[in-house]
């Protein structure tokens, strides 16, 4: 499952229940009654798609809006399932303009009937709709979206709302067949499907589909030529007209990056390598980078998404220590690699050897791409390094964030059993858990979610880490976002049997 293989002891977070989750864990204490197994497929020492099979009696697990993980299963294991392309109805097209923009008013979106088991709750990005799964009395499962309950199935998985929030898709298992259900319509049956990818306008979805022993990239019912495996989910180009993906061919022992039109009629392919792994794509979807190997050599390969046949190969290394990562402007690449017993941190055209510390990847770029911070470890302590200066040491440090110009930094840190938010080196008050701090657009406030004594809530802090405002307690809290004017924050909550989109003042 994506996200299960973070380096070292990096903190993973359950973004709703705010339970700390270690790498390889299935989801923390909020995933009840589960036993899990994670396995990877390997070829020539190169990691393949990691998959998780989860057996669950019924897990009430409420993930964040952006999570794309395996979270709800029936009593028997099923595998990842994804989306099918489906044209929008006239009503959906009309709703797009009517519902554009973030919901700026507190709104009750759903009321869950008393006694009903609910899992996998997902709010739309604009806060106007919500979907969730229910377990029915006969042991089957159904998805409720916009107040309407869908067809019951033996198992469900991976409930996803489209970027515009108007469509819902999910995996469904009926007997030994898997289907992609989009807006209530089933795809044709497959042995297995995986990794949905929406086009930016929500109109097209690409996914991986397996029939017998062959994997395909599919858009609707159109399929690619087929391969033994794909090393990354399909990615759309910036204009949404093209898909790029990596094919693995076991018999030839070769890997190749492919560019295909969304109708699968036009195909371009790049150089063939012994293996391709750890692929990154720039935020603007214009450039792509990945590690590759040929005749025992390992190097970084960079190319334009639209030109898989025009690649630039970087210097050779003995060890691949991290995936590559693009800066927000898509120009600069950062990665960790080793050569002749030495380890290097590479940032653009700069390369620095590191010895006394262990860098915790990935780094964090400022919006301009010119500044970079990263987590590091020395002995049993972790800290954040900013412009060559070490921050205060803690038992554990979570992923840091920067304001727009990179002059201010915030992150969650653990000392003993308590968590704090650290803002510009200033340590805030103690909580049972703290997750996902973020800056307001003007950089004057920090907002984060916290839990204390079983209560979950949102906190607004100033740049010294001092609490300016504590928002009401709820059973579950989703990731907050600032309204465009910066005066309010908005987020989803579960309060008893009600699902709300809450809009609260900053101070």
Structural domains in the chain plus CATH codes = 1-223 (no CATH), 364-473 (2.120.10.30)
Kindly indicate the confidence band of residue 43, based on its pLDDT and cuts at 50, 70 and 90: very low
pLDDT tens, residue by residue, 374-396? 999 999 999 999 888 899 999 99
264 has pLDDT over 80: yes
- What is the three-class DSSP state of 151? coil
Query: Does 203 have pLDDT greater than 80?
Result: yes
Q: Of 355, 350, 318, 356, which Cα lies nearest the Cα of 337?
A: 318
Q: Quote the CA–CA distance of 347 and 505 in Å, as a whole number.
A: 39
Residue 208 pLDDT level (bands cut at 50, 70, 90): confident
Alpha-carbon distances of 23 from 20, 45, 432, rounded to whole Å? 10, 21, 19
DSSP, collapsed to helix, strand or coil, labels residue 14 as coil
Residue 37 scores a pLDDT above 60:
no
User: 56 or 427: whose pLDDT is higher?
Assistant: 427
Which DSSP string do the residues of 169-222 spell out, in sequence order?
A: EEEEEETTEEEEEETTEE---BSEEEEEEE-TTSS-EEEEEEETTEEEEEETTE
pLDDT at 133: 95
Q: How confident is the model at residue 99 (pLDDT cuts 50, 70, 90)?
A: low
To the nearest whole percent, how much of the chain has pLDDT over 90?
A: 51
CA dist list (Å): 223 to 81, 126, 217, 226, 272: 16, 32, 6, 8, 22
Q: Is the CB of residue 134 less than 8 Å from the CB of residue 147? A: no
d(CA 76, CA 287): 41
Contact indicator for 369, 332 with CB cutoff of 8 Å: yes
Residue with the bigger pLDDT between 361 and 418: it is 418
The whole-number pLDDT of residue 206 equals 85
pLDDT of residue 100: 63
User: Which residue in this structure is represented by tokens 């923390």?
Assistant: 28
Q: Which two tokens stand for residue 416?
A: 């003993």
Query: What is the Cα–Cα distance from 277 to 290, expressed in whole angstroms?
Result: 6
Which residues lie below 8 Å from residue 469, measured CB to CB, with a gap of 6+? 459, 460, 505, 506, 507
Q: How many residues does the chain have?
A: 507
What is the number of other CB atoms lying within 10 angstroms of the CB of residue 285?
19
Tokens representing residue 169 in the block = 């898709």
**DSSP letters of 223-292?**
E-S-BSEESS--EE-TTSSEEEEEEEETTTTEEEEEEEETTS--EEEEEEESEEEEEEE-TTSSEEEEEE
How far apart (Å, rounded) are the C-alpha atoms in residues 278 and 137? Answer: 44
Q: Note the pLDDT of residue 388.
A: 82
3-state secondary structure (DSSP) of residue 368: coil
Averaged pLDDT of the chain: 79
Residue 378: strand pairing partners: 381
Cβ atoms of residues 275 and 46 within 8 Å: yes
Mean pLDDT of 432-441: 94
Q: Which helix (H) or strand (E) holds 326?
A: strand 325-326
Determine phi and psi for 20, rounding to 5 degrees: -70, 135
């Amino acid at each position: 499952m994506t996200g299960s293989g973070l380096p070292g002891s990096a903190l993973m977070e359950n973004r709703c229940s705010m339970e700390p989750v270690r790498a390889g864990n299935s989801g923390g204490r909020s995933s009840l009654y589960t036993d899990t197994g994670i396995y990877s497929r390997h070829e020539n020492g190169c990691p393949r798609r990691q998959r998780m099979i989860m057996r669950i009696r019924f897990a009430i697990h409420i993930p964040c809006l952006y999570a794309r993980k395996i979270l709800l299963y029936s009593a028997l294991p099923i595998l990842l399932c994804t989306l099918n392309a489906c044209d929008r109805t006239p009503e959906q097209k009309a709703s797009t303009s009517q519902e554009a923009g973030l919901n700026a008013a507190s709104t009750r979106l759903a009321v869950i009937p008393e006694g009903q088991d609910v899992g996998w709750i997902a709010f739309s990005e604009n806060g106007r709709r919500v979907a969730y799964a229910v377990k029915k009395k006969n042991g089957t499962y159904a998805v409720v979206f916009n107040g309407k309950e869908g067809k019951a199935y033996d198992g469900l998985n991976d409930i996803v709302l489209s970027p515009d929030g108007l469509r819902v898709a999910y995996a469904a298992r009926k007997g030994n067949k898997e289907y992609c259900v989009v807006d209530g319509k089933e795809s044709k049956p497959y042995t297995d499907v995986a990794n949905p990818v929406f086009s930016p306008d929500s109109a097209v979805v690409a996914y991986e589909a397996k029939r017998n022993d062959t994997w395909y990239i599919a858009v609707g019912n159109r399929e690619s030529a087929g391969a033994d495996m794909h090393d990354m989910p399909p990615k759309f180009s910036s204009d949404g007209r093209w898909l790029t993906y990596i094919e693995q061919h076991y018999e030839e022992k070769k890997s190749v990056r492919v560019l295909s039109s969304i109708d699968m009629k036009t195909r371009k392919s790049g150089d063939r390598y012994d293996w391709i792994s750890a692929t990154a794509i720039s935020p603007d979807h214009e450039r792509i980078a990945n590690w590759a190997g040929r005749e025992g050599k390992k190097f970084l390969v960079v190319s334009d998404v639209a030109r898989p046949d025009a690649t630039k190969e970087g210097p050779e290394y003995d060890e691949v220590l991290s995936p590559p990562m693009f800066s927000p402007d898509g120009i600069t690449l950062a990665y960790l690699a080793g050569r002749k017993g030495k380890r290097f941190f590479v940032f653009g055209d700069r390369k620095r050897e590191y010895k006394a510390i262990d860098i915790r990847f990935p780094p964090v770029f400022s919006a301009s791409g010119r500044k970079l911070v990263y987590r590091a470890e020395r002995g049993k302590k972790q800290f954040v390094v900013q412009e060559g200066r070490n921050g205060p040491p803690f038992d554990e440090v979570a992923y840091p964030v920067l304001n727009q110009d990179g002059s201010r930094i915030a992150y969650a840190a653990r000392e003993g059993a308590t968590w704090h938010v650290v803002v510009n080196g200033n340590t805030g008050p103690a909580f049972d858990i703290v997750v996902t701090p973020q800056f307001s657009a003007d950089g004057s406030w920090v907002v984060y979610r916290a839990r204390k004594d079983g209560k979950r809530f949102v906190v607004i802090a100033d740049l010294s880490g001092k609490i300016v405002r504590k928002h009401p307690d709820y059973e579950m809290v989703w990731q907050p976002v600032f309204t465009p004017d910066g005066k309010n924050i908005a987020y989803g909550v579960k309060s008893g049997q009600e699902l709300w989109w809450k809009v609260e003042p900053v101070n």
